[in-house]
Amino acid sequence: MIENPDLVEQVFKPGNLVYGGNLEHFIFYLLSGIRTPKGAFNPAEMPKCYTPENICLGLLSQGRMPERYRNTLHTGPYGMVDWKDLAIIINGEKARKKLGDEVFAVGEAFHNMEADLKYLYDYDENADTVFGFPIKKSDVGRWPFVDEVRVYPKDVTKTALTVDTWDGIMIRERLVGFFPKLPVDHLSLLQIPVLTKDFRPVTKDLRELLAA
C-alpha cells in the first residue's frame, strides 16, 4: 500500500517526465539544470552517451501507480531499467512551456497507436500529440525507448530543465544520507518531495537533506 497517495499522485501524475541521474552530478542539476551531456560536461569528462546532444526522458502514462512509474522506461531507481542513483520527476506542462519547439515525443509507442495506448498517453489525433508533446520520429542517436520524450536543444549551452520545473525526486534508499551539502542561501526554492522505495516520503525535505 502506498503511503501518502495524494503526494504520490501529485509527483508522478500522468504526463510528467522522468530523468535518471547520478548523485555525484546532483549539485550541477540543482544549480544549472538538467542539460544534455554535451552541454553539461567538458569533452574529456563526458560519459559515454548515445545521444550527447539530447536530454532523454520517460513519459508517465495514465496507468495506475505504482506501475505507472515502475513500467516507464527510464534509468532511475526502481524502474524498468534501474541504472542510476536517482530519478528527477519533471512537470510535463512546465517542461513544454519552457522548451517550446525543442521537445518531442519520439518513443516507439507513439507511432501507429492502438486505442488503449491512445488513452494511456492522452493522444490528440488532430494535433498528433501525447500529453501535449508533438510526436516525431527519432533521427539521431540510439533507438528510443518505447515511451521516450527527447529534448533537441537549439543551443546546448542554454537549454536546461531547471529546478522550477521539478515535481519530486526518487532516490535509492541507501543513498538518502549522502546528498551533497549546500549553503543555506541556496535552499529557499527547494520545497521538493524526496521519495524512496515503495514511494515512501523521506522524513526530511530536500532543504534539510542538503543543509550544510
User: Does residue 19 or residue 183 have the better pLDDT?
Assistant: 19
Q: Which pLDDT score, from 0 to 100, does residue 53 have?
A: 81
Binning pLDDT at 50, 70 and 90, where does residue 42 land?
Answer: low
Mean pLDDT of the 182-196 span: 77
Q: Which pLDDT score, from 0 to 100, does residue 64 have?
A: 94
Mean pLDDT of the 22-48 span: 77
User: Does residue 125 or residue 75 have the better pLDDT?
Assistant: 125
The pTM assigned to this predicted structure is 0.91
User: Does residue 188 or residue 159 have the better pLDDT?
Assistant: 159
Q: Taking 80 as the threshold, does the pLDDT of residue 38 lie above it?
A: no
User: Does residue 140 or residue 71 have the better pLDDT?
Assistant: 71
User: Does residue 43 or residue 21 have the better pLDDT?
Assistant: 21
Q: Which pLDDT score, from 0 to 100, does residue 164 have?
A: 92
Q: Which pLDDT score, from 0 to 100, does residue 186 have?
A: 67
Binning pLDDT at 50, 70 and 90, where does residue 118 land?
Answer: very high
Q: Taking 60 as the threshold, does the pLDDT of residue 43 lie above it?
A: no
User: Does residue 53 or residue 172 have the better pLDDT?
Assistant: 172
Q: Taking 90 as the threshold, does the pLDDT of residue 188 lie above it?
A: no
Q: Which pLDDT score, from 0 to 100, does residue 16 have?
A: 98
Binning pLDDT at 50, 70 and 90, where does residue 39 land?
Answer: low
HEC string of the chain? CCCCHHHHHHHCCCCCEEEEECHHHHHHHHHHCECCHHHHCCCCCCCCCCCCCCEEEEECCCCCCCHHHHCCCCCCCCCCCCCCCEEEEECHHHHHHHHHHHEEECCHHHCCCCHHHHHHCCEECCCCEECCEEECCCCCCCCCCCCEEEECCCCCCCCCECHHHEEEEEECHHHHHHCCCECHHHCCCCCCCEEEHHHEECCCCHHHHHEC
Binning pLDDT at 50, 70 and 90, where does residue 148 land?
Answer: very high
